[in-house]
A and B are shown apart, each in its own frame.
Chain A
Amino acid sequence: MPATEQTWRNQKVMHIIFAASALVMVIATLWLMAKDHNREWKDWQLANRKKEAWMTQASRDKTAALFASQLDGQESELRRLQSEPIDPSYLVRFKEIVTAEESRLARDESQPFILGAAASETAISEVSSSGSTSLEATSREAASDFTKLEAAFAAFNELAQAAQSARAQVVAEAAKAQASKVGEEGPGPEVADDAGQQPDLAPPAALTSSQEEALEARRELLVQFADLIRQAKFREKQLVGRRKFVSADRTATVSEKGLKIGEDASKDVLETLQEKIQGYTDEISDLTGRIASAKTYRTDLEGVVGEINAAQDAISKQSQALLAELSRLDDLAYKNTSNVFEWVTRWPVLNALYDGNMRIDQIWLPDMTINYNFSQVARFDRCKSCHQSISQTAAGTTSGPAYPTLPREERELGIELQTPDAAPADGASLRDVYGLVLEAGVMDYSEVTVHYVLPQSLAAQAGLESGDVVRLAGDQPVYEPETVDVYLLNRSKWGESAMLSIRRGFDHPFTSHPRLDLYMTDTSPHPEKDFGCTICHDGQGSGTEFPWTSHTPNSAEQQIKWTRDHNWFDNHHWIFPMKPARFVESNCLKCHHEKGALEPSERFPEPPAEKLVQGWTLVEKYGCFGCHEIGGFDGPDKRIGPDVRLESNYADVAQQILRDEGLSDEQRDWTESLVRTPEDDRLRHQLAAVLNQDAKLAQQAEIAASATLTPQTHRLAAGLKDVEAPGTYRKVGPSLRFLRSKVEFNWLYSWIEKPANFRPSTRMPQFFGLHEHLQDEDDETELATAERFEPVEIRALSEFLLANSSDFEYLAPPAEVTEKPSAERGKWLFESRGCLACHSHESFPGIASEQGPDLSRASAKFKSNKGALWLYSWVKEPHRYHVRTKMPVLFLDPIAEKDASGMPTGAVTDPAADIAAFLLAGKPDWTPQEHATTWSANEEAALKDLAQEWLTSDDIPSARAQNFVHGDGIPAHLEPKLKADEKLLIGLNNGNRTDRLRDYVARRTISKYGCFGCHDIPGFEEAKPIGTALAEWGRKESSKLAFENMHKFLEGAGNPNHDEEHVAHGHLDPADFDPDTSYFIQSLNSHARDGFIWQKLRMPRSYDYKTTKNKGYNERLRMPKFPFSAAEREAVITFVLGLVNEAPAEKYVYKADPRQEAIVAGRKVLEQFNCAGCHTLEMEQWQIAFEAGQFEEPSEVADYPFLAKSFSDKEIALSEFKDSRGLLQATLHGQPMMNEETGLPERVDEDGLPIEPDDDESEPYYLLKLWKDGLVEGVPWLVGIQDLMVPAAADGYGPAIGTAYPAWGGDLTRYLFPRVIAHVHQSNPEAKGSEAWGWLPPPLMSEGKKVQTDWLHAFLMDPTAIRPAAVMRMPNFHMSTREAAKLVNYFAAASDTEFPYEYKSRQRESYLAEKESDYPDRMQGAMNIVVNGNYCVKCHTVEDFEPKGDATTFGPNLADVHRRLRPEFLRNWVANPKRILPYTGMPVNIPYKPGEPGVAETLFHGTSVEQLDGLVDLLMNFDTYARRQTEITPLVKESAAKNAPTTSDAANNKPSRR
């Protein structure tokens, strides 16, 4: 086919199509580019940059304003200094130096210059000598002429004198003016306190001109000085040049000689050359000497001039520093301001090439992966693209936020601004009058912002800050600065305050992260470059737009706002939405698997994760882990999260084994031991082997009879097996093993029915009567079922628990007791023996501990005879009843009463009986409801029906079950197929039916509700927790959560606003609720986990709403209701949501160093046994800020040098650092002086006297007693020397500026302090209240430094009495050796000392031998001090010796010190006890006297240091000393050979003598 012009498609059409599509494409491309260009984050960055520039400018302007006056002052000061006469002694010294140099040079010249040079070498010597001497001669000539210098000096001093007297006149006039002013106000008392202040007047012209003249003269004078110095310099230079020249000559001659040697030159030639070289060498050394002298001369001259100028130079330097700072700020301001170039580069396309200072700010975390379902992917956190200032610290601080996120109440403020007393001059500006400078807004031009505030101005006093937005002036809205001007400067009345309403701080994302000491900064434990953002916050880190980053609102209100302002939506597809603010701490659990690591520490005294720790503690306290296992391990070693699980049940198993009467005596002994020490693995294995062996015997028919133990016991062997990574928590409830011996049926019934009946504050949850979901009319039948079966369950449980109880042997009071129990004595004992450390009681309103139950109503529980018997046994020996109780043995041994003079009266009281009497005293204010002892017909019918329900299963249909229950029970032949509980129903008859059915139902009920999760119940040793495991609950898919009919419930019966109007409209709008509730309602609406758990904790049975119809009674929900407050509930949720099993890479998981690990592990034990109830474990920490010079330096005290505390240069520098407020900071550990009558911290006046209640004039202070050496303004303040007077907060407790972090522990000690004083004063009015701390449990801050580790371990296991003065003894907690070891390590680690072992060289024989080689009777000498009536024995027991007198002044037995105390501690203690315990009454016995004895040398020969050393050595080796006094030889029977027994001889079998 021929080619034609024709195209297949019409060209024109095609053109149109192409044109159109090209156009579309262009539009699409432009659209795409526009979309790409206009990214949200750019706006945020630009805004932030604007903010930064503004802030820098404000700070620059403020600094400039501040510096201006300083620079002026410095300038005039410089003028003053420069026009001051110069001390003529400088001139004299200067001349002396010059003259001395001259005479030195003259002396040198008179001697032949080149000593060793040969005469023939005159040429060389001429050159050199003439060269150098002529040089020196010239300088000398000039120098000797002082006339010019003297003239200049005289001229200057004359003018300077004139200038000075002119100035003096000015000052005197000013002083006169001021004095006459003072005079008008009346004759001032003694003194003028502001004498240092200079009159603030402009210098009159006369002074200025005379100063000018003096300055001119001074310049002239300095020129004269400089002339001479220049000459000296010139000479020095010449000499150096000369030496270079000679050196070069020498080098040339040396090489010439080398050549000549090569050329075999004659000896003469070589010698000549050698002489020449020698000549040069000598000259060089001579020149070197001269140069040195010349240099010394020059520097001496310079030194004199330097001294003359020293003061001026210092001032100039200061000025330069100020100028440098200003120029730095200028640079910074310039850098932060966008310029034209940047602006251009931000244009589309160009912006792709140059970022124009705007870029995606991203942190790449290759090892911090995120789970993308199929793989772990590196994180890219781009959050900083918008949150630009997030890690910015305030200038001059390491962790203060530059832009703090302020709480709502601090954001909107009313400022009361004091106006001047009189109208200011016309034309005065806000800056002149108030020190206030305003500007248009930072983020919004329609706002008015405080640009800066001058220090000490009226605005500063009112608290205005740079950046505050002024919204209202009076009640007028402010849109421009003039409004404020008018308001503040045109007032009708002056001297009154004006009101400004301001808004402070920035919104997100312009703020800094809170707690920069913990996060973001490089010095924090979580630097941003290593951790990024999303590991803690979750959310989509790679997103750069608000909605796509999965922010999560914290309340419905916020959600509405975000939806409106930022297009927020709930992105269901992103499974890691950001944690809302309320749960932000949850994710700490990813890396922190021990609670102790999240608690306040010395480094971070402010709680790092308070809510989370609270939640964790609540989970521990309420025993959630009894039903819900929280496993922290994946395999034996790999940690995945917190591990909160029940301990192995060995003790309970062993107790159950003890029920078997077939145990042999030995087996019984083993078992009893295991009950006491369940951690003893060897014993447990032994016992398990016994059971297994016996079980084997029983299985073999022919020897079955030889098995002694029951099959039940055999089965218990399984409970003794080893467990991989066992749990560590004890059950939180008391043991019910011996319940019968403790409580009555009626009480028990009431308790189970509703624990709050008896004790409103109890932790036991409520299981019954939770029917809020059964209130609808159509649920009537379901409600009736519950109301019919629940009483049956309660009655069955109560009866079963009592019937199933083991027998308990009560303790009988000791025979020596003569007195009847007394509630009055018991009350003081209860208060003072430590009970209040764990329990509260309404008789003692000042203290409330929650470790143990509130005992106010004990009498209602134990009013029966057996209750009283039980209570006595319990108080005295709690482990007898409940082996795993945390209640310790308090050593309530009989007390032989003494009279006022300390003699026994013959009366013996029993403190345990007294305490029991106190608890049982009074008529109970509550009695349980009486219940019939027998089952009524209705109850029996219900019991049968319930048993039938239980029995009914796939294998046993309902009808058959009914037959079993009503007939003869389950046939015996079915036994092998039956479960343990069902076996109870074999062989039912009318005689045993009710009891058997009761036991059956009770056992099933216990299993259903999981009572054994908290209580030891006989027969349930092996039961497993009944609840859902929680280790991964924080990531549980919400589709797996049974929300059931929750929405319907909440809209109706379960509406939290049930009583209010909201119920009417029947639908659930989160916005109708308060912010906290609204969050959870919203969460429930979107089927999220946090809403689910919130409702579960709030109304645990509500998920059964409308589901009960189709469930059996026993299938209904069983979670009980705990008495959580809303805040507690949220804390628990915070903890549970953090259980995500997402431990990141190993390097991110918090790994404590061994010391920290010991601290963390120890804290758990401390908490378990409530050590902090009595002991102070950390003193209060006061972080104070103050003005320089606030604290007068403490007086120096001459003391043993080893007691001095040295601080590092860094610490000192830090303590002298001024923050942005110009304040210094100090961290002090201690506690304020307490009032001996009230026990409350005493507020004192400036003289240190307590401020009386009606005194509102005195400035309040606290007298802070230091417990740790501290640094204040670079000066060490040492413990026990002097108290610090810290200005007190105007109201409330703490320092005026700063924070007082509370002490950890010691509540009881502080509570008892005034009370023991009052009590002791009753019988002993002279006892010293100030020493009462010594009668109470000691603080343990540096216990590790004090005691030896092995002693402490033994003491914890078996505490002995140490201090006779103490009102209570350390109780015995029956802790395991592992727990004791953890405590020992804790104390050592916390006080930063050696553990687990410490080497005590003082206790080595070799050490003693060496010391004794110089002074053989050294130990005896030290003993002389000990037994001298003036010293140790005055107050201390020593072995068998006991001091007489007042026990409140007695100290511990010195014979035991060598086992207890660490040598260094003992030395420091004896040297000056107050340096360790500020309150101690122990005196310094050997005062430090350098080179002299501290005590009489007749006792111990040597200096005070040697005497102290000797005494310490004796006390540390008391056993060695005692051993030396003991002779064993006399005890050995003499002539052992004579008395030796006869032995047989192998050969003849006859007795023979050896």
Chain B
Amino acid sequence: MKNLICLLLIALFGNLVAQCANAADWGSLKGRLVFDGTPAKPKAIVAKVDTEFCSQQNLVEETLVVGEKGGLSNVFVYLYVKKGKSVDIHPDLAEPSEKPAVLSNKGCRFEPRALIVRTLQPLEVRNSDEGIGHNTKASFFANPGFNETVTSDRPLNKVFNKTESYPAEVACSIHPWMKAFVLIRDNPYMAVSDAKGNFEIKNIPAGKHQFSFWHEAKGNLRALPVGSTKTDRKGKAKLEIKGDEVLDLGEIKVSPPVLGL
């Protein structure tokens, strides 16, 4: 409420009103995503292009990557903010990192498969396969897409201004099996589950928030049991973050139907 009045006054009087001190509390969210089933053995990919090189990379289908103890990687978890609204950002995280987020074309696949980038943080697309031509085609929603050839000596550098509502696909037209997903947000409250299925988002302003759960196999993860609640049709769960506390969701079981399998 204090924030509300504060914002109201700022909007009305701009700089004339002394800066509203922000004494919000901050908390964290963590959890582990577990695939609740037996994953099929990933299908091998037959490379028809650059066969000599790519066929040695033991390429497999990566839509579903399940690690040890069923850890489901590449799930995007992020704070949902309604269009036209914004969220308080912890002072330590106020400025986006100057260190670029790196997306590498490596061994005829993208590394990493799922990537988070903040607006105004540089994205560097590299080609680590020397002599193998790659192009990177990204189709965003709010930001302009691009499709450029990337060579090993000339990485692409991109900066994005607008926040995206969900991860966008990045592909290579030359090697059609290559795919990655990039989420661009104007706040730091996002994470991708790692090889063990773990994710953590720190320094979230205390309060009730909606968090989106997204995976490439299905998009929004609908009806996913998260803590004591379930995600809605848009893959969002309402969770309360308390100051100076970590909300640990524990194991989040992702059943095959949730992933559309």
Q: Are B137 and A1483 in contact (CB under 8 A)?
A: yes
Which chain B residues border A1194 with CB–CB below 8 Å?
A: 144
Scan A164-187; emit 1 where CB is below 8 A from any B CB, else 0: 000010011001101100110001
CB atoms of A187 and B162 under 8 A apart? no
Contact flag A1481-B162 (CB < 8 Å), given A1249-B219, A1326-B177, A1445-B48: no
Q: Is the CB of B48 within 8 A of A1481?
A: no
Task: Check A703 for interface membership: any CB of B closer than 8 A.
Answer: no
B83, A1246: Cβ atoms closer than 8 Å: yes
Interface pair B9/A171, CB less than 8 Å apart: yes
Q: Is the CB of B173 within 8 A of A1483?
A: yes
The answer on a CB contact under 8 Å between A1474 and B173 is: no
Confirm or deny: B174 has a beta carbon within 8 angstroms of a beta carbon on chain A: yes
Which of B31-39, B128-136, B250-258 lies on the face that meets chain A? B128-136
Q: Does B11 contact A (CB under 8 A)?
A: yes
The answer to whether A1483 touches B149, judged by C-beta atoms less than 8 angstroms apart, is yes
Write out the residue numbers on chain A whose beta carbons fall within 8 Å of the beta carbon of B10: 195
Quick one: closest B residue to A1428, CB to CB?
Answer: B133
Which B residue's beta carbon lies closest to that of A1249?
Answer: B166
Q: Are A171 and B166 in contact (CB under 8 A)?
A: no
- Per-residue contact bits, chain A 1082-1115, to B (CB 8 Å; 1 contact, 0 not): 0000000000000000000000000000000000
Stretch at the interface among B68-76, B109-117, B193-201, B202-210: B202-210
Q: Which of A178, A190, A196 is in CB contact (< 8 Å) with B85?
A: A190
Give CA–CA (A1330, B139) in the complex, Å. 10
Alpha-carbon distance A788/B174, docked complex (angstroms): 73
Q: Which of these, A175, A176, A1331, A1495, contacts B173 with CB under 8 Å?
A: A1331
Chain B proximity of A181: nearest CB distance (Å): 11
**Residues 1-25 of chain B: 1 if any A CB is under 8 Å from the residue's CB, otherwise 0?**
1011101111111000000000000
- B151 CB-CB contact with A under 8 Å: yes
Q: Chain A, 77-117, contact with B by CB distance < 8 Å: what is the 0/1 string? A: 00000000000000000000000000000000000000000
Q: Mark B77-99, 1 if CB is under 8 A from A, else 0.
A: 00001111111100000000000
Q: Which residues of B lie under 8 Å from residue A1473 when comparing CB positions?
A: 147
Q: Which residues of A contact B147 (CB under 8 A)?
A: 1473-1474, 1481-1484
**B166 touching A1429 by the CB < 8 A rule?**
no
Q: Do B165 and A1247 touch across chains, with their CB atoms under 8 A apart?
A: yes
B171 at the interface (CB under 8 A from A): yes
A271 to B211, alpha carbons, bound, how many Å? Answer: 98
Main secondary structure of the interface of A (DSSP, over half): loop
Chain B residue numbers with a CB within 8 Å of A900 are 46
Interface-facing stretch out of A581-589, A945-953, A1430-1438: A1430-1438
Q: Are B88 and A1474 in contact (CB under 8 A)?
A: no
Does A1281 interact with chain B (Cβ within 8 Å)?
A: yes
Q: Which of B3, B48, B50, B87 has the most CB of A within 10 A?
A: B48
Digit string of A442-465 for contact with B (CB within 8 Å is 1, else 0)? 000000000000000000000000
Q: Are B86 and A1444 in contact (CB under 8 A)?
A: no
Residue in contact with A1197 in the complex, picked from B7, B144, B205, CB distance below 8 Å: B144
A763 to B165, CA, bound (A): 54
Q: Do residues A192 and B4 form an inter-chain contact, with CB atoms below 8 A?
A: yes
Selected contact of A1444 from candidates B48, B88, B207, CB within 8 Å: B48
* Distance in Å: Cβ of B233 to nearest Cβ of chain A: 6
How far is B135's CA from A902's CA once the two chains are assembled, in angstroms? 23
A-B contact count (CB 8 A): 165
Q: Is B176 within 8 A of A1448, CB to CB? A: yes
Given known A-B contacts A900-B46, A1483-B148, A1496-B154, A189 and B161 have beta carbons under 8 A apart:
no
Q: Is the CB of B8 within 8 A of A192?
A: yes
**Number of A interface residues in the complex (CB < 8 A):** 65
Interface centre among A192, A1245, A1487 (most CB of B within 10 A): A192
**Are A1481 and B137 closer than 8 Å at their CB atoms?**
yes
Instruction: List the B residue with the shortest CB-CB distance to A171.
Output: B12
Most buried by B among A1246, A1281, A1446, A1495: A1446
Give the residues in chain B near A188, CB-CB below 8 Å.
1, 4
Q: In the complex, what residue of chain B is closest to A1285 when comparing beta carbons?
A: B141
CB interface residues, A 176-221, toward B, < 8 Å: 176, 178-179, 182-183, 187-193, 195-196, 198
> Does A1449 sit within 8 A of B, measured CB to CB?
yes
CB atoms of A175 and B5 under 8 A apart: yes
Complex interface: chain A residues within 8 A of B144 (CB): 1194-1195, 1197, 1281-1282
Q: Are A1328 and B85 in contact (CB under 8 A)?
A: no
Residues from chain B with Cβ under 8 Å of A421 in the complex: none
Q: Is the CB of A1328 within 8 A of B171?
A: yes
B153 near A1496 with CB under 8 A, answer yes
Which residues of the other chain, A, contact B8 by a CB distance below 8 angstroms? 175, 178-179, 192, 195
Chain A residues contacting B220 (CB-CB under 8 Å) are: 1249
Task: State how many angstroms separate the Cβ of B159 from the closest Cβ of chain A.
Answer: 10
Chain B residue at minimum C-beta to C-beta distance from A1484: B148
- Separation of A189 and B165 alpha carbons in the complex (Å): 18
Does the CB pair B234–A1327 fall under 8 Å?
Answer: no
Kindly list chain B residues whose C-beta atoms are within 8 Å of the C-beta of A1077: none
What is the minimal beta-carbon distance from A1246 to any residue of chain B, in angstroms? 6
A1302 within 8 A of B: no
Query: Given A179-B5, A1484-B146 in contact, is the A1446-B49 Cβ separation under 8 Å?
Result: yes
**B51 contacts partner chain A, Cβ-Cβ < 8 Å:** yes
Nearest-CB residue, chain B, relative to A168: B13
How far is B141's CA from A983's CA once the two chains are assembled, in angstroms? Answer: 80
* Given A1247-B165, A1431-B149, A1434-B133: A1444 touches B5 (CB 8 Å cut-off): no
Taking the closest CB of chain B, its distance from the CB of A929, in whole angstroms, is: 56
Contact in complex: B233, A1430 (CB < 8 Å): no
CA distance A1194 to B9 in the complex (A): 30
B83 near A189 with CB under 8 A, answer no
Say yes or no: is B45 at the interface (Cβ < 8 Å to chain A).
yes
Contact B149 A1485 (CB under 8 A): yes
Determine how close the nearest CB of chain A comes to the CB of B249; give it in whole angstroms: 20
Chain B residue with the shortest CB-CB distance to A1443: B49
B208 contacts which chain A residues (CB < 8 A)?
A: 187, 189
**Is A1248 close to B, CB under 8 A?**
yes
- Interface check A1252, CB cutoff 8 A: yes
Question: A934 at interface (Cβ–Cβ under 8 A)?
Answer: no
Residues of B with C-beta under 8 A to A1195: 142-144, 160-162
Query: Contacts of A171 on B, CB cut-off 8 Å?
Result: 9, 12-13
Docked-complex contact A1429 and B132, CB < 8 angstroms: yes
Q: Is there a chain B Cβ closer than 8 Å to A1125's Cβ?
A: no
- Tell me which residues across on chain B come within 8 A of A990, comparing CB atoms: none
List the B side residues contacting A1414 at CB < 8 Å. Answer: none
Q: Which residues of A pack against B, CB within 8 Å? A: 168, 171-172, 175-176, 178-179, 182-183, 187-193, 195-196, 198, 900-902, 1192, 1194-1195, 1197, 1245-1249, 1252, 1254-1255, 1281-1283, 1324, 1326-1328, 1330-1331, 1428-1431, 1434-1435, 1443-1446, 1448-1449, 1473-1474, 1481-1485, 1487, 1495-1496
5 closest Cβ contacts across the A-B interface?
A: A1445-B49, A1247-B165, A1430-B133, A1483-B135, A1481-B173
Spell out B's residues near A (CB within 8 Å).
Answer: 1, 3-5, 7-13, 45-46, 48-51, 81-88, 131-137, 139-149, 151, 153-154, 156, 160-162, 165-166, 171, 173-174, 176-177, 205, 207-209, 219-220, 233-234
Q: 5 more A-B contacts (CB under 8 A) besides A196-B11, A1194-B144, A1445-B51?
A: A191-B7, A192-B3, A193-B84, A1249-B166, A1483-B136
Residue pairs across A and B with Cβ atoms less than 8 A apart, 13 shown, are A175-B5, A187-B207, A190-B87, A191-B86, A192-B3, A192-B7, A1195-B144, A1249-B219, A1326-B45, A1430-B149, A1446-B49, A1483-B148, A1483-B173
